[in-house]
């Protein structure tokens, strides 16, 4: 997307009343649901939008819990069946914030019902599901229905600025991309067996949860797609306590019933872009001491760019055309009005946070719907990421037996 508009009147007043509304219905209200709600609540109060988002209804299976979430997050109504939410006349856009096993069914039904769709990443649990979703999205385009995948890290001002600099040729011909996404929330072997550790619900582990983000961000910043990968994955803790202590496949080791972890804990893979540039990726939930550490660096013939999510208002930039005596990495503080999205926010030097990426996501989607233009990342882009993830799993399966290193 282009530069944000200058701040306007925001929500309220006669100008706001004249704008067409965009009724939003959201399925799921946990971590991602709360983040998306923040975006929808805030976007019209910051950006001068062509449409006014209205938080029409949120959906969850537990009637009491979803009503409480609606009150807390700012939704006007609550539903316990996503089909009922899609059928509502006041819902124009369906925002899917559920585990991956339900993405395809909900998205396909929403598109068939004539709704716009925002779907959290990864797009689906399988390539086949993602292909069906992409085909439906492409059919929907003819009828004016807009579909987008929620890769929010594209929409930080710093990463958007990095993409702009790559497009301008500031790093020259791309040679290397290296990217890691490190967390540690599964280090404790007695952490319970959540849905994220169940392949049927999550599709994969660190690979889909974290790897999807870094594959998309690497391809987005590079401006090209991966053409091949070579991978290894590992599951370090293969059994964990089940919260409910029920279901099949349990053991009584340690005095408590445990279930099998059916996804990866960590994924390491190398890749080659279509241009021949090389890339390396690491996604793990076992990096002790790392809470949400995403870092990406791009090296080119004329310079380098680096971004660290723990310093999300900054870019590191090296201009390799400068004399060696004075050249080196320098910090760019991405808070100027000329930086992506920043004209609508605070004076220079006043940084933004993680939640603002969801505000920017909402802004870009509303503008795409109003103008009838295809947003990015499209479902087709989500499908391409899904194909990379599937290739990583296939490669890891083939590389399960290591080649022994000869001893002297």
Q: Given a cut of 60, is residue 31 above it in pLDDT? A: yes
Confidence of residue 256 (pLDDT cuts 50, 70, 90): low
247 pLDDT more than 50: no
Identify the CATH class of 13-152: alpha beta
Examine the pLDDT at 80 and tell me if it is beyond 80: yes
pLDDT tier at 15 (50, 70, 90 boundaries)? low
Q: pLDDT tens across 207-222, in order?
A: 999 999 999 999 999 9
Residue 147 pLDDT exceeds 50: yes
Query: Who wins on pLDDT, 251 or 109?
Result: 109
The answer to whether residues 231 and 268 touch, using CB atoms and an 8 Å cutoff, is yes
Residue ranges of the chain assigned to CATH 3.30.360.10: 157-311+313-352+379-396
pLDDT at 5: 38
Q: What residues contact residue 36 under an 8 Å CB cut-off, 6+ apart?
A: 26, 95, 97, 118, 120, 150, 358, 362
For residue 3, name the pLDDT band (cuts at 50, 70, 90): very low
Question: 172-197, pLDDT tens digit by residue?
Answer: 999 999 999 999 999 999 999 999 99
Q: Where in the chain is the domain with CATH 3.40.50.720?
A: 13-152
The DSSP H or E segment spanning 109 is: helix 103-112
Query: Which residue in 210, 282, 198 sits closest to 239, CA to CA?
Result: 198
Question: pLDDT at position 284, please?
Answer: 98
Mean per-residue pLDDT, 233-249:
79
In this structure, of 69-83, 233-247, 311-325, 326-340, the range with the lowest mean pLDDT score is 233-247
Residues 6+ apart with CB under 8 A from 267: 205, 206, 207, 211, 231, 232, 233, 281, 282, 283, 284, 392, 396
Give the pLDDT of residue 120. 98
pTM of the shown model: 0.92
Domain 157-311+313-352+379-396 grouped into CATH 3.30.360.10? yes
Confidence of residue 7 (pLDDT cuts 50, 70, 90): very low
The 3-class SS string of 325-338 reads CCCCCEEEECCCCC
């Amino acid at each position: 997307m282009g530069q944000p508009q200058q701040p306007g009147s925001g929500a309220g007043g006669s100008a706001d009343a004249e704008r067409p509304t965009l009724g939003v219905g959201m399925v799921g209200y946990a971590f991602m649901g709360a983040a998306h709600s923040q975006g929808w609540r805030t976007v019209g109060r910051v950006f001068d939008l062509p449409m006014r988002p209205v938080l029409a209804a949120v959906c969850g299976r537990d009637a009491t819990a979803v009503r409480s979430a609606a009150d807390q997050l700012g939704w006007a109504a609550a539903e316990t069946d996503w089909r009922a939410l899609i059928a509502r006349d006041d819902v124009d856009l369906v925002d899917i914030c559920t585990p991956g096993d339900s993405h395809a069914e909900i998205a396909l039904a929403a598109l068939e019902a004539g709704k716009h769709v925002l779907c959290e990443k990864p797009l689906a649990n399988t390539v086949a599901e993602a292909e069906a979703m992409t085909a439906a999205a492409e059919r929907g385009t003819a009828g004016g229905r807009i579909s987008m995948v929620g890769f929010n890290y594209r929409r930080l001002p710093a990463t958007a600025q990095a993409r702009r600099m790559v497009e301008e040729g500031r790093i020259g011909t791309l040679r290397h991309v290296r990217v890691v996404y490190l967390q540690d929330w599964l280090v404790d072997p007695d952490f319970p067996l959540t849905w994220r550790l169940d392949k049927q619900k999550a599709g994969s582990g660190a690979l889909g949860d974290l790897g999807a983000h870094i594959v998309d961000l690497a391809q987005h910043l590079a401006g090209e797609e991966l053409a091949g990968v070579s991978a290894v994955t590992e599951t370090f803790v293969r059994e964990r306590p089940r919260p409910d202590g029920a279901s099949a496949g349990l053991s009584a080791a340690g005095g408590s019933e445990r279930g099998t972890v059916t996804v990866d804990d960590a994924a390491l893979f190398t890749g080659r872009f279509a241009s021949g540039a090389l890339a390396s990726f690491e996604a793990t939930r076992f990096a002790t001491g790392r809470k949400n550490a995403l870092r990406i660096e791009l090296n080119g013939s004329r310079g380098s760019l680096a971004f660290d999510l723990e310093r999300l208002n900054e870019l590191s930039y090296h201009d390799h055309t400068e004399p060696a005596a004075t050249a080196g990495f320098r910090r760019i503080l991405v808070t100027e009005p000329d930086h992506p999205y920043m004209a609508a926010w605070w004076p220079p030097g006043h940084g933004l946070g993680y939640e603002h990426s969801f505000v920017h996501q909402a802004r870009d989607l509303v503008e795409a719907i109003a103008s009838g233009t295809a947003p990015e990342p499209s479902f087709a882009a989500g499908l391409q990421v899904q194909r990379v993830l599937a290739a990583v799993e296939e490669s890891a399966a083939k590389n399960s037996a290591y080649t022994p290193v000869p001893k002297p």
